[in-house]
Amino acid sequence: MTDLVPGGISFFSQRHGWSCDTVQEFEVVLANSSIVRATENSNADLFWALRGGGANFGVVTSVSVDVFPQGPSWYNFQLFNLGDIKSVMQRLDYLTRNMPTDLQMIATNLAWSPWRKEFVLSDRIVSLSENVMETMQMDTNAYDPCLDTPLPAEEHLYRRTTFEMAQVMDIVNEDGFFNFFGSMTVKSGVEINLIVADIFQEEASKITNIPGIQVYIVYNPLTTPTIKKMTRRGGNTLRIQETDGPLTIINFNMRWSQDADTTRMREFLRRTLRRVKDASEKTGTDHPYLFLNHCYEEQTPLLSYGAENIKRLHRIREDLDPDGVFQTLKVGQHKLGRQYQDAVSWSGKTEL
């Protein structure tokens, strides 16, 4: 549920929309302990608020979502030489704008590898067919020079169900580490993607000596077809318009092993996010949306939904929870109208 009510990117977003946009019905325990069901036609305001509004309105105990047949998919992990980054970003941008039907997802990762002692560049491609990229290159109607990326230095191909692949990928999420996540959104483009990559490498180079360090960014395309699906069943809270797209959601992921390094990691994330924001504004590629699933406590994703949506969310929250039970008793950040403060005396903010 925690991934679903803030938004939820999945392997199926291109074909079926974000997770919150596939919901048909929520069962919710409200602050007064009553149990209600929220759909497009019943408790419609609550239904809308739960599609992106986070843990501000109740405890979701059950959810009904769209279902569809889905067999095993092809998962292709490609590792490229860092010198090929421009070609990789050109392909990512082309596919963000021209995602073929058989291609379910592509995401580009840039990471510091503590084992290789260098930055590494990779693509994660999820598709319904084994050779989707080769098929596009041979299709004269779909072909574009941007698809001619250099051969990957390494390539690993799997055919798995979603559950099987999730278990494989979960191996990298070891227990016993500290973690931060951050998120920014930009209008898709090769130039801004390369600028972000440069900023990330410059800032990450300052923290590579931290024990247990793992730090990487992920470029997640938000395609126009996916945005179109956000209008279903009355729409969601996110304030992303079809005319905004395509967009790229850049997620910042980091872990480390010693609490003594938390301040350095926090400062790294602050600096990097600020520089990316400044660069996107300078290049005209800035977009206000913040992906709540990956925001850390100093970010204010609810504010990115816009004044009109914030006002509506407040009204719904005040109707359902006038005493602010889920603002004061529910742990976590990103609450409507709640002030909070972290362990290093960061000045508290209120998401108005």
Name the DSSP class of 198: H
185 plus 208 within the same structural domain: yes
Q: What is the CATH number of the domain that holds 245?
A: 3.40.462.20
Question: What's the Cα-to-Cα distance from 30 to each of 59, 274, 349, rounded to whole Å?
Answer: 7, 37, 26
pLDDT of residue 151: 85
Residue 345 placed within a domain: no
- Are both 199 and 50 inside the same structural domain? no
Of residues 24 and 12, more confidently modeled:
24
Secondary structure letter of residue 347 according to DSSP: P
Task: Specify the amino acid at residue 122.
Answer: S
Output the pLDDT for position 170. 74
CATH of the domain at 61: 3.30.465.10
Q: Are residues 193 and 332 in the same domain?
A: no
81 and 43 share a domain?
no
Does pLDDT of 168 surpass 80? no
Question: Read out DSSP for 98-151?
Answer: S--TTEEEEEEEEEEETTTTEEEEEEEEEESSTTHHHHHHH-TTT--GGG-PPP
Return the pLDDT at 137: 58
Q: Is 237 a member of any domain? A: yes
- CA pseudo-torsion sign 260, 266, 267, 269: positive
Total structural domains within the chain:
2
Identify the sign of the CA torsion 285, 290, 295, 300: positive
Residues 45 and 86 in one domain: no
> Do 53 and 163 have their domain in common?
no
pTM of the model as a whole: 0.89
The CB density around residue 125, as the number of other CB atoms within 10 Å, is 20
Q: What is the pLDDT of residues 236-259, one digit of tens each?
A: 999 999 999 899 999 999 999 999
Direct distance between the N- and C-terminal alpha carbons of the chain, in angstroms, rounded to an integer: 24
Instruction: Kindly state the DSSP code that residue 257 receives in the 8-state scheme.
Output: S
> Each residue of 321-339: pLDDT tens digit?
999 888 887 777 788 875 4
For residues 298-318, average pLDDT: 93
Q: What is the pLDDT of residues 197-214, one digit of tens each?
A: 999 999 999 999 999 999
